[in-house]
Amino acid sequence: MRTRPTLHWTPPADLPPGTTDLRPVVDALSAGRVLVITGAGISTESGIPAYRGAGGSLSRHTPMTYQDFTGSPQARRRYWARSHLGWRTFGRARPNTGHRAVAAFARHGLLSGVITQNVDGLHQAAGSEDVVELHGSLARVRCLDCEAMTSRHDLAVRLEAANAGFAPVAAGINPDGDADLTDEQVAGFRVVPCEDCGGVLKPDVVFFGESVPVQRIERCRRLVHEAESLLVLGSSLTVMSGLRFVRQAAQAGKPVLIVNRDPTRGDALAHTRVGLPLGTALSTVADRLGV
């Protein structure tokens, strides 16, 4: 069942404050079999903004919903024009200290898995393997009619050819790769169809208001079951797609540790929340572990 997206969450007044003590994180990683879940906050130091928190894109941008995308040709034109322009910047983003630290933890056998809510592919670019992309990847494009899958690079070439000279100035880039453009700037943009069947193309990502595939959720549930502890990095856990796994771990008595500067929807279930910037925190943890 698809539901309308949860875009905002207001922290209750009785949430415990974040700490700067990284010892619980170091101890958990030292024990091994840690399942890492990452959100948009781990990619901010790569130039990709977060949705929430200070300066988050939701203060100025409403993400495309699945219902709007599938229900309106005009919405698809707006999405693809903005996403095509944003991809030029988004596709050039490179891993930062946080991504590299997670990859180092995995190489040294400290992790049981990595689940990311991000669609930027930066964990894999940093060297992490077998990452579960909970919300998909912008690097792939799927036809909603025949299910054919193509690369975003190939689509970008086709869109460039169909929209020669399209180079409006954007007000900013959002976590979903969407550039901030006005309706006037996208009015003449041409959307291209699936080359196989002429159907509607959609990025292979889970839009707000769209359900995560059941098989992917079950894979993540198995990873939580097999882990000794859960480490959440850079996620507010506002949406249920990530919060459900924190709840599962807490109900099973597994320690939940969160590193996020702002309060999260999972804080009440967590053993600790470290309120430090991720790059600083994870590089410090990596140094202490000698990885």
Which amino acid, residue 190? Answer: R
220 is in an annotated binding site: no
Decide if 271 is catalytic: no
Contact 175, 43 (CB under 8 A): yes
275 is in an annotated binding site: no
243 is in an annotated binding site: no
178 is in an annotated binding site: no
Tell me which of 8, 108, 135, 153 is the catalytic residue. 135
Alpha helices in 180-274 (DSSP H): 183-186, 214-226, 240-251
Structure-block tokens of residue 178: 């969407």
Residues linked to residue 114 through DSSP beta bridges, in sequence order:
36
Residue 66, C-beta contacts closer than 8 angstroms, at least 6 positions apart: 2, 207, 208, 209, 210
Contact 125, 95 (CB under 8 A): yes
180 is in an annotated binding site: no
197 is in an annotated binding site: yes
| Strands, sheet with 149-151, edge to edge from the N-terminal-most edge strand | 149-151, 136-143, 201-205
191 is in an annotated binding site: no
96 is in an annotated binding site: no
118 is in an annotated binding site: yes
Annotated binding site: 117-120, 143, 146, 194, 197, 234-236, 278
Catalytically annotated residues: 135
Annotated binding site for Zn(2+): 143, 146, 194, 197
